[in-house]
Every structure is written in C-alpha cells, then in structure tokens.
Structure 1
Amino acid sequence: MSRMIALIILLIPGILAGYGIKLMRDMLFGLQASWIPALWLQFVLGFLFMVLGVGFIGGFLLRRDRKNNKVQERFRRQK
C-alpha cells in the first residue's frame, strides 16, 4: 500500500513537469495556450512547472535514498 501511495505522490509532480515541458515547447513553435495571455508568460510558467516537478521528484528520491543509506558520502547528512 505504501508503494502505491508513493507512486501517486510522484505522479502529480511528474505530470506537472511534463506539462511544463509541453508549454515551453509550444511557445518555441508559436502555439499559445488559450488560458495564458502572452507567449513569454507561457514559457515562464512552463519553466516553473518543470523546475518544481523535477525538484520535487529529485528531493523525494534523495530523501528516500538517504533514509536507506544508499547515497554517496558527499550526500549524507552531517551529524
């Protein structure tokens, strides 16, 4: 059950990051989303979505691996 919850927790930021990449790609091709008033704002929102999604997933994995003691010495917490 805990693995299913972890999967759901990781799916939401993963979808958010994917949508951010899509927004940035569409801006480069000149396709504007209907709910965003300007192309530059679309790129900024897409970049923000991507950074937040990837950052959350990376932090989640780093925290899990630290707990299981599976990280390199430089990523371990100082006591």
Structure 2
Amino acid sequence: MAVTTFDTGAREITVKDLIARGVYSVIALLEGAAYAVADYRSRRATAAQLYALSDEMLADIGLTRDTIDEALARR
C-alpha cells in the first residue's frame, strides 16, 4: 500500500499526519467549547447566589447589586 506524501520543503507530511492534525484540532475546539460552557454556567450560578444575598450582606463583601456582573467578569 502506497502512502501519499506532500513535500513541504522541511519534511514530507503523510495523509495520516494531516488527518491526525485535523482530528487534534477538532478535539481542541470541542474541549475549548466545553470549557466555555462550564465557565458560563459557573458564573451564572455564582451570580444567582450573589443576587440572593441581602444588600447588607453584599456590602459586607464590598459589592452592590450593580457591581455583581462586573465582579464576575473580572474573575
């Protein structure tokens, strides 16, 4: 069985190498998307908990209702 190769100047790259790189790129993309979704859900859960606190409790930790989203964006 012949393996198709491409001459890139530096070294030959096989079709198998190109497929492996493509698969790796897709996996990295999916991992990044999963991380982004998990991070979003974590921030929303934290925001819900903070919004449930009284104004006095928020003041104790140095926040107001207006600054909750800003504080989470810096996290």
| TM-score for the superposition, normalised by structure 1 | 0.42
Structure with a larger share of its residues in helix: 1
The higher relative CO (CA closer than 8 Å, separation ≥ 6) is in: 1
Structure with a larger share of its residues in strand: 2
